[in-house]
Amino acid sequence: MTINEAPATSLEDLYELFESLNVEAGWHRKAPALWAEPTKNFVPYRWNYTQVREALDAAGPLIDHSMADRRNVTLTNPIPGNTYATVRTLVGAYQMIRPGEIALAHRHTPAALRIILEGEGTYTVVQGQRVEMRTGDVLLTPSWLWHSHAHSGNSGEEDCYWVDILDVPLVHLLEPMFFERYPDGLEKDVANIDESPIAFRWTDGLQQLAQAPIAEDGMAEKSVELGDPAMPSIALYRQSMPSGFISRQCQTTANSIFTVVQGEGETEIDGEVFTWKLGDVIAIPMWRTYQHRVTQDAHLVRATDEPVMRALGLLRTKLV
């Protein structure tokens, strides 16, 4: 039925008319548009660094930078239909670079960061500034800045591994995705910088944690925010927890990705227990109740979309 035909005289005719107009009756929805609290779509998950590292080692001699800009593997949340995201707004990945390799410069609208797990002799160049990457460091690549990275390849140096976290899924949702390769491959006239706003050093982080008060929320013994926030869409926290520490239970509308940079323990998420150790990554989607239990002195880095939720007035957190 169309608007030019006889008026609808039954509900069936009326709904057929609505369909021809590409409208839907608010009283006759195929699926609800509102619900009492967030639905649990993405699932909690833990990626085992040891296993992924073995896979990256196997990829090392097979995949070089002529085949791929970056030798990385994406941490894809195992829900039906998902092909990319780790949690709704963020994606994590493990990346490896071998001595002498160079990843050419590019830029993109998604914001990115990396958490260095192992290896020395690597550096990143961000907008003309060359910054060394050291084990335990957290380094930022803010939106739309040129960036590359490389391994110096000096004698005796080993492969370097890190965790990438980006807000690509958020940009996919909002749609302002732009990507561009640097015309000449690498930036010229690069300045060597030891201290930089994009580099949060491991040694500085340890000192800040030592001087920090006990965390008020009880989700770690000590917690220090990196930046204020680190980037507009991603907040970062270094967290320390001694052996035997048990956190409170937290339920929040913020999505989180935890990276283990030291220690061992387990995190219970909605009743499911995930053990973890150095290099492991834990995805905690929004509105999943979680609690940490530590068996060996631990340091975690939490990346979260809290700034987005806060800016939109959507951040809610319950602590038990």
The pLDDT tens digits for 169-228 are 999 999 999 999 999 999 999 999 989 999 999 999 999 999 999 999 999 999 999 999
Domain boundary assignment for the chain: 45-203, 213-319
Q: What single letter denotes the amino acid at residue 86?
A: T
d(CA 223, CA 282): 18
Beta bridge mates, 97 = 160
Q: What single letter denotes the amino acid at residue 110?
A: P
- Candidates 2.60.120.10, 3.30.70.2190, 3.40.50.2300, 3.40.50.460; CATH matching 45-203: 2.60.120.10
0.75 exceeded by pTM: yes
What is the SS3 assignment for 55?
helix
The CATH architecture annotation of domain 213-319 reads Sandwich (2.60)
pLDDT of 6: 64
Q: Which stretches within the chain are classed as H helix?
A: 11-20, 49-59, 168-174, 202-211, 306-311
Kindly state the tokens that stand for 123: 């550096």
pLDDT of 5: 61
pLDDT of 8: 79
Segments in the chain below pLDDT 50: 1-2
- In degrees and rounded to multiples of 5, residue 168 shows phi and psi of -55, -45
Q: How many CB atoms lie within 10 A of CB 31?
A: 5
pLDDT of 157: 80
Q: Residue 21: which H helix or E strand, with range?
A: none
213-319 has the same fold as 45-203: yes
Kindly state the tokens that stand for 190: 């690069």
Q: Dihedral of the CA atoms 220, 226, 230, 235 (nearest 10)? A: 0
Q: How many CB atoms lie within 10 A of CB 27?
A: 5
Q: Residue 254: which H helix or E strand, with range?
A: none
d(CA 319, CA 27): 37
DSSP code for 246: B
Kindly state the tokens that stand for 310: 């806060």
